[in-house]
């Protein structure tokens, strides 16, 4: 079983809807949590970076971390066709300074 | 400012050949990371450098893979005796220091025939 699980999708939503993405993990030592967006054949782009539990909002994006449930979420409000991409969650422990553990990614399609 | 750059963007080679992949980090970033991403999977950690030294190389799959960063800036990932299973996207990232947010380059797509 992988340390980080993510539903591969595809997740199809109409333009303007809220996109809801999530990851579960098994290692309770994970403390830092990230969400990346990756367009086809491009490198991942950092969207959100959070530490420990709680919520963080940045524009149309909201990241939530629930460490008690080992569950993280990303919400995208007012989705646009340009949001169509693969979304990757990533996380690391406090003492693993460089090694990010990624989920497999969820493909999102926003239809006009 | 300029982001992380990687060259070449695509590399096609034959089984058994040697390849070098280059990464130019964001100026001023002291930490540099290499990942490998297969189709439909998330990036998989290979190695990271803090300055010139490899701080964690636990992700290198075997001794055919080697990476250097001699002056603490540009890094080269070297793969000897390439195998078809090495075909993947090789991603480089950098951060201000180890542990900070990692910013990725566009990747090098390696195809081993």
- The domain limits of chain A are 4-111
Tokens at B49, concatenated: 């450098």
Number of domains in chain B: 1
Question: B26: domain CATH number?
Answer: 2.60.40.10
- Nearest chain A Cα distance for residue B43, angstroms: 6
Domain that holds residue B85: 5-99
Mean pLDDT within B20-27: 97
- Which of A23, A43, A56, A96 has the most B C-beta neighbours within 10 Å, making it the best mutation to test the interface with B? A43
> Does residue B37 lie within any of the structural domains?
yes
Write down the architecture of domain A4-111 according to CATH.
Sandwich (2.60)
If you count DSSP H runs as helices and E runs as strands, how many of each does chain B have, helices first? 0, 11
In whole angstroms, what is the distance from residue A20 CA to residue A13 CA? 10
**CB-CB contact of A22 with A4 (8 Å):** no
Q: How many CB atoms lie within 10 A of CB A1?
A: 4
pLDDT tens by residue, B35-52: 999 999 999 999 999 999
Q: For B4, which DSSP code?
A: -
Tokens at A27, concatenated: 């290692």
pLDDT tens by residue, B49-62: 999 999 999 999 99
Backbone angles phi, psi at B40, to 5 degrees: 80, 5
Secondary structure class of B99 (helix, strand, coil)? coil
How far, CA to CA in Å, does A9 sit from each of A22, A104, A107?
A: 11, 10, 5
Share of chain A above pLDDT 70, in %: 100
**CB-CB contact of A89 with A7 (8 Å):** no
In whole angstroms, what is the distance from residue B48 CA to residue B37 CA? 16
User: What is the model's pLDDT at position A96?
Assistant: 86
Contact A99 B106 (CB under 8 A): no
* Residue A1 clears pLDDT 80, i.e. is over it: no
> Does residue B110 lie within any of the structural domains?
no
User: What is the model's pLDDT at position B1?
Assistant: 55
* Residue B84 clears pLDDT 60, i.e. is over it: yes
In whole angstroms, what is the distance from residue A73 CA to residue A11 CA? 14
Tokens at A50, concatenated: 């959070």
Tokens 């990757």, located at residue: A88
Report A:6-35 residues touching B (Cβ under 8 A): 6, 8, 32, 34
Nearest chain B residue to A102 by CA: give it: B42
- Nearest chain B Cα distance for residue A21, angstroms: 15
> Does residue B105 lie within any of the structural domains?
no
> Does residue B112 lie within any of the structural domains?
no
Q: For B26, which DSSP code?
A: P
């Amino acid at each position: 079983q992988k340390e980080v699980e993510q539903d591969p999708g595809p997740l199809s939503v109409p333009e303007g809807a809220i996109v809801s993405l999530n990851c579960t993990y098994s290692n309770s030592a994970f403390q830092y949590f990230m969400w990346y967006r990756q367009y086809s054949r491009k490198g991942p782009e950092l969207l959100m970076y959070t530490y420990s539990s709680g919520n963080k909002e940045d524009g149309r994006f909201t990241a939530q971390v629930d460490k008690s449930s080992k569950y993280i979420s990303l919400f995208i409000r007012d989705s646009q066709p340009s949001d169509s991409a693969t979304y990757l969650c990533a996380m690391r422990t406090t003492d693993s300074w460089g090694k990010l553990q990624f989920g497999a990614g969820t493909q999102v399609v926003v239809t006009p | 400012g300029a982001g992380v750059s990687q060259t070449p963007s695509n590399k096609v080679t034959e089984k058994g050949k040697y390849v070098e992949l280059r990464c130019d980090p964001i100026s001023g970033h002291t930490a540099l990371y290499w990942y490998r991403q297969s189709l439909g999977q998330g990036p998989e950690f290979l190695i990271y450098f803090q300055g010139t030294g490899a701080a964690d190389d636990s992700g290198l799959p075997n001794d055919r893979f080697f990476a250097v960063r001699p002056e603490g800036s540009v890094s080269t990932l070297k793969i000897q005796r390439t195998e078809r299973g090495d075909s993947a996207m090789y991603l480089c990232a950098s951060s201000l220091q180890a542990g900070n947010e990692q910013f990725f380059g566009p990747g090098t797509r390696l195809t081993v025939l």
